[in-house]
Amino acid sequence: MGKRCLAEFLGTFWLVLGGCGSAVLAAAYPQLGIGFAGVALAFGLTVVTMAYAVGHISGGHFNPAVTVGLWAGGRIPSKDILPYVVSQVVGGIAAAAVLYAIASGKTGFDPTAGFASNGYGAHSPGGYSLIACMVAEFVLTAFFLIVIHGITDKRAPAGFAPLAIGLCLTLIHLISIPVTNTSVNPARSTGVALFQGSWAIGQLWMFWLVPLLGGIVGGLIYRCLAAADTARSDAGAFPSAPASTA
């Protein structure tokens, strides 16, 4: 468990440093800013790289919503939830601290301006309401878990899970950066909110509650799909997909 928790710490650290770091340091850089698309890609790349690097050790969750969603889908035992979530949150906070140390080296840096924090209402990048932001976070987290369950199913093509999951996270960010600045990950939201230090802390409840609920629903949906598919296969309706196409 110690090694698995360290892997979750490192993976979440890299996700927050890479994704939020691209938003804080590079998104609006004069003339050469990477913009929303670049930030979305950065988040996806963090998951791809660390899932390949340490996913075989811990499963590569890097996100409390993924952990509870995999539990809801029957993939992990309940005893793993707390140590994984603690490791992820600590990793997110540590990454935010490193990002703060880097960003504060520039004259005029002000973390209260946002610091890549997630928000709704007046603090939504596009001014979206609380209800709109809740719907976005819930639906996108649920689909994220459906993708994760599906691509890590033993019947899915082997070796492509990190790539598919990273691309899914990139797509999620392309959709929702203007809405909430994209969370779908309570650890990511917590780390930067603590350093933003004002409104982001007050709105953090939503970026825990809704992604966790979305993750659970996504896990349950795939669990039902997998059970139905197994039942049809056992009944001889049609064969299951091969375990690998390699």
- What digits encode the pLDDT tens for the residues 208-240? 999 999 999 999 999 999 886 655 555 554 444
pLDDT for residue 243 is more than 70? no
Q: Quick one: pLDDT at residue 53?
A: 94
Residue whose C-alpha is closest to residue 120's, from 202, 32, 222, 232: 202
Distant-in-sequence, close-in-space partners of 64: CB < 8 Å, separation ≥ 6: 84, 85, 88, 89, 185, 186, 187, 208, 211, 212, 215
Q: In the prediction, which pLDDT does 7 show? A: 97
Say which amino acid occupies 133.
Answer: C
Residue of higher predicted confidence among 33 and 204: 204
Q: List the single range of 112-116, 165-169, 181-185, 217-221 with lowest mean pLDDT.
A: 112-116
Cα distance between residue 9 and residue 90, in whole Å: 7
Query: Which pLDDT band holds residue 157 (cuts at 50, 70, 90)?
Result: confident
Instruction: For residue 43, give every residue at least 6 positions away whose Cβ sits within 8 Å of its Cβ, in sequence order, or none.
Output: 15, 18, 19, 22, 169, 170, 173, 182
Three-state helix/strand/coil letters over the chain: CHHHHHHHHHHHHHHHHHHHHHHHHHCCCCCCCCHHHHHHHHHHHHHHHHHHHHHHHHCCCCCHHHHHHHHHCCCCCHHHHHHHHHHHHHHHHHHHHHHHHHHCCCCCCCHHHCCCCCCCHHHCCCCCCHHHHHHHHHHHHHHHHHHHHHHCCCCCCCCCHHHHHHHHHHHHHHHHHHHHCCCCCHHHHHHHHHHHCCHHHHCCCHHHHHHHHHHHHHHHHHHHHHHHHHHHHHHCCCCCCCCCCC
pLDDT value, residue 29: 65
* Confidence band of 159 (pLDDT split at 50, 70, 90): confident
Task: Give the number of other CB atoms < 10 A from CB of residue 162.
Answer: 19
**What is residue 237's predicted lDDT score, i.e. its pLDDT?**
47
- pLDDT tens digits, residue range 119-152? 999 999 999 999 999 999 999 999 999 999 999 9
Q: Quick: pLDDT tens for 36-86.
A: 999 999 999 999 999 999 999 999 999 999 999 999 999 999 999 999 999
| Domains of the chain, earliest start first | 1-103+114-227 (1.20.1080.10)
Residue whose C-alpha is closest to residue 175's, from 213, 139, 215, 146: 139
How far does the chain reach from its first CA to its final CA, in angstroms? 31
Rounded Cα gap, residues 23 and 96, in angstroms: 12
Question: CA–CA distance from 105 to each of 135, 188, 201 (Å)?
Answer: 37, 22, 24
pLDDT of 39: 94
Per-residue pLDDT at 11 exceeds 70: yes
- Looking at the chain, the whole-number percentage of residues with pLDDT higher than 90 is 80
